[in-house]
Amino acid sequence: MASNSGEEKLALSLISPYLAFFILITIYPVIYNVVLSLERRGVLTLVNYAEVLSDPNFPLILYNTFIWTIGSVTFQFLVGIGVALLLNENFPAKRLFTALIITVPWAMPDVVAGITWRWMYSDVYGVINDLMMKLGLISYPLPWLGDINLARIAVIIANIWKGFPISALIYLSALKTIPDELYEAAKIDGASAWVRFKDVTLPLLSPIIKTTVMLTVIWTVNYFPLIYVMTGGGPANATDTLVTYAYRISFKFTNFSVGAAWATFTFLLMLAFAVVYTKTLMGGRT
C-alpha cells in the first residue's frame, strides 16, 4: 500500500506542472470570459446577452455562420475523402502530389494563406479573374471580395483549400485499416468500384466520418484568421461570423463585456451542437 501511495504521489508531482499549465491556458480563460460576459458596470447581469440577441446584425451573423460552416464542412468532406481515396492507390508522382495537395495548404500559416487568397481574388491584378477571363468564363473582372454574395463564396473556397488536408489525412489513415480481403471478396462477387465504395468503404469509415464532421464543424465555426485577413468581415458584414463579430465588438469597439457574451454564446451553441450530434448520429457510442 505504501508503495502504491508513493507511486501515486510521484505521478501527481510529475503531471502537476502540465495540469497547472492546462488550467492556466484553457480553464481560466473560459471562466474569466463567462464572468466578463455577465459583468456590466461592476454588477453581474444578463444585460450583455440581451444586447447580443437584440443586435440588429444578430440574424445576419447567424446566417453567415451557417452558410460558412455548411459550405466549408460539406466540401472539406467531399474533397477530403476524394483525395484520401486517391492517395490510397499507387500511382506515379504520388509523393509530389501529396506534397503539393496536402502539405502546402496544411503547413501554410493562416495569415499567409489569407493574404495569398486575398491577392488571388483581387479584381485588379488577381490571378483568379485573369484565368477565368482567359478561359472565357467571364468577360470582366469580378469584385470577389467586394460583392456580398461573391465574398461569401470566396472565403468558403479559401477555407475548403486550407482545411481539407486534415480530413483527407484522417480518412486516409482510416482507409489503411480496412483489410484488402474485403475488397478482393467484393471483386470476386462482381462488385463495381462504386458498389465496393458504397458497401465496403463507407460503412467501415462511418464512425470516423461522423467524428471528423463533428470536429470540422466546431473548428470551422471557431475559425477566425482566414476571414479576418481576407475581408475583415465585410463587405457590409457579409462574411462576419460569430467569432469575427465577437472580435470586432471587443477589440475594435472596445466593448469587452458584450464581446465576451458573443464568445460565450458561440461556446454554448457549439456545446449544444456537440451533445445533440453525438446523441443522435453516434447513438451515444464512443
Per-residue pLDDT tens over the stretch 111-138: 999 999 999 999 888 899 999 999 999 8
- Sign of the CA dihedral 248, 144, 110, 76? positive
Q: What's the DSSP call for residue 175?
A: H
pTM: 0.87
Higher-confidence residue: 120 or 18? 120
pLDDT of residue 135: 92
Measured distance CA(259)–CA(257) in Å, rounded: 5
Q: What is the mean pLDDT of residues 219-231?
A: 94
Q: How confident is the model at residue 4 (pLDDT cuts 50, 70, 90)?
A: low
Nearest-10 crossing angle of helices 58-87, 148-175: 40
Which CATH superfamily groups domain 60-239? MetI-like (1.10.3720.10)
Helix (H) or strand (E) holding 125, with range, is none
What secondary structure does DSSP assign to 234-285, as a single string? -STTTT--HHHHHHHHHHTS--HHHHHHHHHHHHHHHHHHHHHHHHHHSTT-
Residue ranges per structural domain of the chain: 60-239
* Helix-, strand-, coil-residue percentages of the chain, each rounded to 5: 75, 0, 25
Percent of the chain with pLDDT strictly greater than 70: 97
Per-residue pLDDT tens over the stretch 238-251: 999 999 999 999 99
Measured distance CA(64)–CA(71) in Å, rounded: 11
Q: What is the mean pLDDT of residues 9-23?
A: 82
pLDDT of residue 82: 93
pLDDT of residue 1: 46
Per-residue pLDDT tens over the stretch 32-80: 899 999 998 888 889 999 999 999 999 999 999 999 999 999 999 999 9
Nearest to 178 by CA among 160, 155, 205: 205
